[in-house]
Amino acid sequence: MAPADIPLAQDTWSESTVTEEDLLQMVADGVLPEQPIIGWRAASGEDFPTPNTEEIVVFESFFYRGFGLPTGSFFRGLLHFYGIELVHLNPNSILHIATFIHFCEGFLGIHPHFDLFRSLFILKPYSSVAGGAGFQLRPGKSSLYLGLHLCGSLKGWARRWFYVSNPEPALVPYRGLRPLPRDCWGSLPSPRALRQVNQLYEMIEERKRAGVTGLSVVASFVNRRVHPIKERVNLGYEFSGVGDPTRESDAEWTAESLVGRLKPLFANDVVFCTEGHPLAFSLQRPADEVTLHPVFRFSDLSE
């Protein structure tokens, strides 16, 4: 039996602690649609997933890191290319993907670029709830990309799973199988593709010199209340403001509440500051009209 065909042991999972009250709080936080829209169902007390045919298994922390359903083509393409399921990923992998998507759309003015992603990240197996895998920056690539000092202590996240419906375009249903490492997990794009990637690296360096950081990119999509991984009618550079249909909530942020949402995502403390970072592109702010806006910085470690 091939490794990918080996069912996950039931004890690989931890008993779910997600209650209906928790899901209602996610709705109130503006990260999860109401139950009639997405068909969520609590799994509190269940030792391992037993989803219905039309359901998938999801983790609470994913929705606070830019995940939403149905997912966009870039995210579905990643899962297909690397041969993994949603449950094989961890929260920081979700945040890496969401940040990359929003950076491409909102700060480079392009669609998420697959070869750029492959040149920056590798997929590595790790011991987890679903015998999973996680995206990490390739060695030596941190200087070419954004500083993302993500929280390394995510205690208890694996117990925060529940069910949602699987709307079209659907994800691969939960199968309970271990991911099988492939050569593509660490492979680079072709030399021809890398020529364009190198041009994009030059654009990234320009944005970094202008003040764009990993923190400012995450703060941007959280502030917009947009889930970059979700299928959206408007991409980041087409965002139309408070009335944009891609927003998950109409609620306005205060500086304090936005900092509170960002803090759990990073290893270093996040504070509001008056130093300007470039705002993301939008319909009102096209690529040649980026202005500065007070956002956030790390209190003890600069990006």
pLDDT over 50 at 249, yes or no: yes
Q: Which pLDDT band, with edges at 50, 70 and 90, does 303 fall under?
A: very low
Q: Are 129 and 158 in contact (CB under 8 A)?
A: yes
Both tokens of residue 117?
A: 């992603």
pLDDT over 70 at 295, yes or no: no
Q: What domain range includes position 246?
A: 1-303
Average pLDDT over residues 1-24: 74
Q: Which of 247, 231, 63, 96 is nearest to 162 (CA)?
A: 63
| Total domain count, the chain | 1
Q: What is the 3-state secondary structure (H, E, C) of 118-150?
A: HHHEEEEECCCCCCCEEEEECCCCHHHCCCCCE
Q: What does the pLDDT read at residue 7? A: 52
In percent, the amount of the chain with pLDDT more than 90 equals 74
Q: Are 45 and 19 in contact (CB under 8 A)?
A: no
Residues contacting 93, CB < 8 A, separation 6+: 133, 134, 135
For the stretch 274-294, pLDDT in tens is: 566 788 999 888 875 444 455
For the stretch 125-144, pLDDT in tens is: 986 666 689 999 999 998 99
